[in-house]
Structure 1
């Protein structure tokens, strides 16, 4: 392994990931990370009209480990390790959204550095493995958002590397601890851990007890959080249906590698999707025909997450399949492809992935609307901007307010209540549909102003609806 080339690759990766973190619109789940670590898990927004500048303090502060753990058990679905790390990070580097994303970038760079070591241990070409990993849409996406995926990936790769190199109990114990830490960061990382331990049973069974001694103590900790949280996100996923789950698994697996390329293609979406499918199938044919010594380990690790998600669907009768979850399989697929793809096919794969990553940074079709709506509404200074409250006042208003100028006049609207905009000369409706409640609120407030004879719709886009008062006698 050429350390100088790897260092240059990591510098390039840092620049790319930080650029994506800067340009990409703010997201729903990231707001939970920020408010949780700020000590305001459910922000107490003002009831009437207010400005973003008046509530910036809600994004700052430090919760501390105890409050983070309490708030997670009371109303979230994640273990605490990432949030503890984020709490410390924000105390040092400040409360900004970009600072929080920068921590994920740091974890992602650590993952790539460890993956380079693992590729060398497995005798897989290092730079192709790193390139295929970094340019996979799902890996780059989860590597920049302010959530726990990047830390879980770092612990996963560290655990597999330690187990792959383990010749005695110390290395196996450390590998088990790393895999346990991954599960204490994101429950779904347990699938990778189980696959790695299963491989260890066959390859190095003598050190398996040491690996289990490192991993198993994390399971009661996971259970202590999970059992308290299991009912907090009822209805988050649609009911399980085998055919729908398999179709979604295929679609999101492709998107984890190639992102939204079919979406960008417009009328040519189907041919593009078929071409991408052919490219992936050609890659797997090469993996089978040029079977590498590490193929069994990588295949086991790559299949662990999709198989685990299907098992969860069967057990809990829902469909927990998303691109960000399937990203846990990306490093292992990249190692398989790097070991087997001929140079021409590898070049094509990397070039196509590069196009997808450009879309990750700049294409609004793959971004959540809250921050984009705030920018659109900012073009109407002085108007009252009405924003849906959302399910719990975190994921919808959080990113919107963070992206809005300090002086914007805001009103949070809850579905089922009356919309009172009496005396306003111009009203901007932020028609956000990020969750069930925001969709209902957006439809209700739009209907209310369309039926109000004193307001005329002056403009309508997919993001906002602009209404001007037409009754001169009402102020």
Structure 2
């Protein structure tokens, strides 16, 4: 392995990932990370009119070890390791959204460095494997968001590397450490355990005497995993749609393509179908070369790549839901890259990397790949002095959190939940933020629009997909 070329690659990856982290709007789930580690898992927003600057303090502060654990057990569905690390990180580097994302970028770079070591140990072209991984849409996306995916990915890659080395050296201490990393991965994101299970199955076949050592490292993490999961498992019962085999397989096929090539068919507009067919041909050709040029370790990496999609389908069967999303399938991308890197001819590798690079450009710049809260805030800021009414959302976290983070300090706000009448007495201009990113915000947005359109004193003067602007034309009664 050329250490200098790998170092240059990692520096370039850092610039790319930090750029994406800076350019992308804040997201729904990231707000949970921010508020949880600030000690306000469910922010106590003011009930009346307030300014964005008046609530900045809710985004700062520190929760501490036990507060994070208690809040996760009380109302979330995630293990605590990532949030403990994020809490400490924010105390050092500040409470900004970008600072939180920078931690994920650091984990991602660590994962790529370990992946380079694994590729070298398996005699796989290192730079090809790194490029195919970094430019996979799902890997880059989960590598920048302020969630636990990047830490779990780092631990999974480290665990596979250590088990791989342990089989060569027959050292139980290395296998123990590998098992512990798989445990840490699951303690960062429960779904990361699928990779660990697949690696252990492979270990059973090639060096079964090392399995007890690997399990000894893994099991101590499974106990606290269970302590959190058994309490949390019913807290978001409606998060996913009910499971049906046909829908699940259709969604899996679409997201499996998107995890590699992102939203390229979406960007193509009228040419979506031919673009989709070209991308499908690239994937089929790549897998065909994998079969023709079978690498010594192709079986291992195929098993690891299949572990997450198969695990998600099994999870859906057990819990009767459909937990299939691009961000979860991102756990498979390093192993798919290691599978493809030694098999692809140069021309096909270049074409595939070019398509992936186009998808990554969309990840950074295309509004269609981003959640709308930040863009809505920027649109609403074009009407200074107006009262901006924002849906509260399901629990006051994922909708107002990113919106207010992107709003100027002077913006006047009111949060609205469907049900009570909308109070705009004394206002001369009202901006309704019509977001529909969860069920509650959809209902609130519809009620707000109906109320303002029925009010004879207000006239709609502007409308976009994200905001509706109303001006008063008569005095208050």
TM-score by length of 1: 0.99
Say whether residues 1:113 and 2:116 are aligned partners: no
Say whether residues 1:279 and 2:289 are aligned partners: no
Distance (whole Å) between structure 2 residues aligned to residue 339 and residue 191 of structure 1: 24
Q: Which residue of 1 aligns with 2:62?
A: 62
Distance (whole Å) between structure 1 residues aligned to residue 270 and residue 447 of structure 2: 33
Distance (whole Å) between structure 1 residues aligned to residue 189 and residue 403 of structure 2: 26
**For 1:417, which of 416, 420, 423 is the aligned residue?**
420
Question: How does 1:157-306 map onto structure 2 within 5 Å?
Answer: 157-166=157-166, 167-306=170-309
Structure 1 residue 452, shift from structure 2 partner: 1.0
Q: For 2:50, what is the secondary structure of its paired residue?
A: coil
Q: Identify unmatched segments of 5+ residues in structure 1.
A: none
Q: Which residue of 2 aligns with 1:373?
A: 376
Question: How does 1:350-389 map onto structure 2 within 5 Å?
Answer: 350-389=353-392
Distance (whole Å) between structure 2 residues aligned to residue 216 and residue 459 of structure 1: 59
TM-score by length of 2: 0.99
Distance (whole Å) between structure 2 residues aligned to residue 208 and residue 313 of structure 1: 28
Q: What is the number of residues matched between the two proteins?
A: 474
Structure 1 residue 423, shift from structure 2 partner: 1.3
Q: Which residue of 1 aligns with 2:476?
A: 474
Runs of 4+ in 1 over 4 A off after TM superposition: none
Greater CA deviation, 438-447 or 148-157? 438-447
User: Deviations 1:232-265 (Å, cap 9, x if unpaired)?
Assistant: 1010000111101000000011111001100001
**For 2:431, which of 428, 432, 438 is the aligned residue?**
428
Question: How does 1:52-91 map onto structure 2 within 5 Å?
Answer: 52-91=52-91
Distance (whole Å) between structure 2 residues aligned to residue 203 and residue 95 of structure 1: 47
Distance (whole Å) between structure 2 residues aligned to residue 278 and residue 315 of structure 1: 34
User: Deviations 1:8-33 (Å, cap 9, x if unpaired)?
Assistant: 00000000000000000000000000
User: Deviations 1:172-230 (Å, cap 9, x if unpaired)?
Assistant: 00000000000000000110000000000011112111111101111111110000101
Q: Which residue of 1 aligns with 2:343?
A: 340
Structure 1 residue 474, shift from structure 2 partner: 2.5
Aligned-pair RMSD on alpha carbons?
A: 0.7
Say whether residues 1:145 and 2:163 are aligned partners: no
User: Deviations 1:158-178 (Å, cap 9, x if unpaired)?
Assistant: 000000001211100000000
Distance (whole Å) between structure 1 residues aligned to residue 114 and residue 272 of structure 2: 36
Structure 1 residue 334, shift from structure 2 partner: 0.5
Q: For 1:332, what is the secondary structure of its paired residue?
A: helix
Q: For 1:462, what is the secondary structure of its paired residue?
A: coil
Say whether residues 1:43 and 2:43 are aligned partners: yes
**For 2:407, which of 404, 408, 412 is the aligned residue?**
404
Question: How does 1:92-111 map onto structure 2 within 5 Å?
Answer: 92-111=92-111
User: Deviations 1:119-170 (Å, cap 9, x if unpaired)?
Assistant: 0011110000000000011000000000000000000000000000012111
